């Protein structure tokens, strides 16, 4: 290595960004864990799709297009428990739903966490605390 190359190496900088890898189905998702390091909103298409699906299913139930959650589960070829848990997303606070649709949700918030994790509270302020959307 020449002296000029060494001089360049001495000026190298290291940037540390808090992040982690999270499994997401068969892939891994790189998640920046500190909001201060996120530059632009990043829409999570899987989370958006789940939210839209939940609201569509709720509408079908309310207008009588389907009579039961089981009917939706059979039609969609999903477990009834999964459909019930996904339907909870239709009861998110409006600002949380808006944040998800705009890509402003915490980057580590995944659909799998909402459906498979602890039951979502019905109280909107508790939802915001649980999901770290304040």
DSSP per-residue letters across 10-55: HT-------EEEEEETTEEEEEE--GGG--S----HHHHHHHHHHH
Higher pLDDT residue, 16 or 99?
Answer: 99
Stated pTM of the model: 0.70
28 part of a folded domain: no
In tens, the pLDDT along 22-62 reads 776 667 767 766 666 666 678 999 999 999 999 999 999 99
9 part of a folded domain: no
> How many domains, the chain?
1
Q: Give residue 61's domain range.
A: 41-131
């Amino acid at each position: 290595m020449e002296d000029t190359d060494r001089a360049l190496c001495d000026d190298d900088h290291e940037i540390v960004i808090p992040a982690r890898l999270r499994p997401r189905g068969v892939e891994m998702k790189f998640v920046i864990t500190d909001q201060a390091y996120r530059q632009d909103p990043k829409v999570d298409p899987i989370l958006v799709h789940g939210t839209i699906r939940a609201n569509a299913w709720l509408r079908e139930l309310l207008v009588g297009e389907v009579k039961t959650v089981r009917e939706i589960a059979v039609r969609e070829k999903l477990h009834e428990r999964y459909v019930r848990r996904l339907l909870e997303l239709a009861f998110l606070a409006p600002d949380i739903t808006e944040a998800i649709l705009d890509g402003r949700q915490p980057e580590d918030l995944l659909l799998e966490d909402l459906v498979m994790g602890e039951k979502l509270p019905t109280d909107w302020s508790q939802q915001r605390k649980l999901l770290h959307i304040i």
